[in-house]
Amino acid sequence: MVGGGPGAFIGAVHHRAATLDGMATLVAGAFSSNAAKSREQGAAYGLAPERSYASFDEMAQREAALPENERIDFVSIVTPNHLHFPVAKAFIERGFHVVCDKPLTTTLEDAEELCRLVKAHDVVFALTHPYTAYPMVRQARAQVQDGALGTVRKVIVEYSQGWLSTPLEQTGNKQADWRTDPARAGAGAIGDIGTHAEHLARFITGLEMEQLLADVRSFVPGRRIDDDANMLVRYKGGAKGVLFCSQISVGEENRLAIRVYGTTASLEWHQEDPNFLTVRHPDGPTETWKPGHAFLSAAAQRGTRLPAGHPEGLHEAFANIYSNAMRVMHARQAGETPDPLDLDFPTVRDGAAGVHFIQAALRSGREGDWVDASYVAPGA
């Protein structure tokens, strides 16, 4: 693990997710650029002292120098956004597989460079958009793919939070500090959570954006980065969309939600109640789909560990990405073709698409006009 030092909540989440299914053990880390803090965190995880590194560079070099059966199998990158690129590059170039937090990078150039590196070094790269790994999101995708909605006409997707309604970054809050710093975060609400919304819509519908128009704002006095954005979207093929994200929607905790309207049916899903998928029909009762049933899609079933009615949450969704990625790593190592169900995790190319979206939205916000949002990442 790189990042995830004392006080960083996302590191602990990655750790739980990586180990939930008993498929991984944390053995090395560069948890902080402060060597003492890195050792402290390593000790908390029970690591051997010599494998708590003072920098990601040191870690990449030393781990690569270990015998193959002793070195790490993959690295989890859980740093602030601006470090994703150099860390990922350092490990990819040494042949390590990568699991990386989103957004992929703070510039599109970096993102595309990673796409090329992943292809060149033939490593597995998983990006943690955990929300699309919930069973009911996978089920939603299956219903769209199966044609249960007809042709998609309209998408409403949002990610509303309220935690930055006040200038929290001026109070010493560590999360707020880096997430509102243009240098470390790259973008504000759009980069932190808007990109999850964009990925969710793309994951479920398969639609590609063609144009978008964003109204972007920083509501909180003194804030140097966007904390709210409302967007109109035109998808290829004629579907329309609304996408909005906010960190000043006071009272909201983590309202990521989507609605997809097709020609014959529609669906709705809310992250805060993730085990319920609503499907509406014009000529029959509304349906609520829940996990744990044999009548669900194979991908939804694979992401479920407990019988119906026993709630799973975000840790398990996160773990679904890790476990799939690790099974693909195993297959690669064994020289086998991965199970297609295991290939179900966001990739470096999804990450580049996300960075392109962030930048298009920011540009539209500056220009106050429609911008081209179409994009094809390199490295296919």
- Residue numbers 152-191 binding a copy of itself by CB under 8 A: 153-154, 156, 158, 161-163, 165
| Range 8-37, binding a copy of itself (CB under 8 A) | 9, 12-13, 15-16, 19-22
The site string for a copy of itself over 35-54 (x = CB under 8 A, - otherwise) reads ----------xx--------
Residues 162 and 155: beta-carbon distance below 8 Å: no
Token pair, residue 183, equals 């240098």
Among 55, 107, 145, 230, binds a copy of itself (CB under 8 A): 230
CB nearer to a copy of itself: give 125 or 244: 244
117 vs 156, beta carbon nearer a copy of itself: 156
CA 55/CA 262 separation, integer angstroms: 49
Identity of the residue, 33 or 211, whose beta carbon is nearer to a copy of itself in the bound complex: 211
CA angle, 42 then 46 then 50, to 5°: 55
- Taking contact as CB under 8 A, which single stretch among the options 75-83, 264-272, 330-338, 350-358 is the one that binds a copy of itself? 264-272
Are 333 and 359 in contact by the 8 Å Cβ rule? The answer is no
CA-nearest of 242, 136, 238, 235 to 194 is 242
In whole angstroms, give the CA distance from residue 100 to residue 18: 12
Selected range binding a copy of itself among 190-198, 257-265, 338-346, 352-360, rule: CB under 8 A: 257-265
Q: Which of 135, 292, 346, 354 binds a copy of itself (CB under 8 A)?
A: 292
Q: Where are the alpha helices (DSSP H) in 153-215?
A: 174-179, 182-185, 189, 195-205
Q: Report the residue from 49, 67, 222, 282 that binds a copy of itself according to the rule CB under 8 A.
A: 282
Rounded CA separation 314/372 (Å): 33
Nearer to a copy of itself, 294 or 380 (CB): 294
Q: Kindly tell me the burial class for residue 367, based on how many C-beta atoms sit within 10 Å of its own C-beta (0-12, 13-18, 19 or more).
A: exposed
Q: How far apart are CA 94 and CA 63, in angstroms?
A: 9
Give the C-alpha separation, 70 to 63, whole Å: 8
Cα–Cα dist 257/27, whole Å: 36
Count residues binding a copy of itself (CB under 8 A).
85
Range in contact with a copy of itself (rule: CB under 8 A) among 66-74, 109-117, 279-287, 323-331 = 279-287
Tokens standing for residue 68:
């193959």
Residue (3 or 135) nearer to a copy of itself, CB: 135
What does 41-57 look like in DSSP terms, one character per residue? HHHHTT--GGGB-SSHH
The answer to whether 206 contacts a copy of itself (rule: CB under 8 A) is no
Q: Which of 109, 122, 272, 372 binds a copy of itself (CB under 8 A)?
A: 272
Contacting a copy of itself (CB under 8 A), which of 67, 251, 335, 340? 251
Determine if 232 is a binding residue for a copy of itself (CB under 8 A): yes
Based on the shown chain and the rule CB under 8 A, indicate whether residue 283 belongs to the binding site for a copy of itself: yes
Q: Which one of 30-38, 61-69, 95-103, 215-223 is the stretch in contact with a copy of itself (CB under 8 A)?
A: 215-223
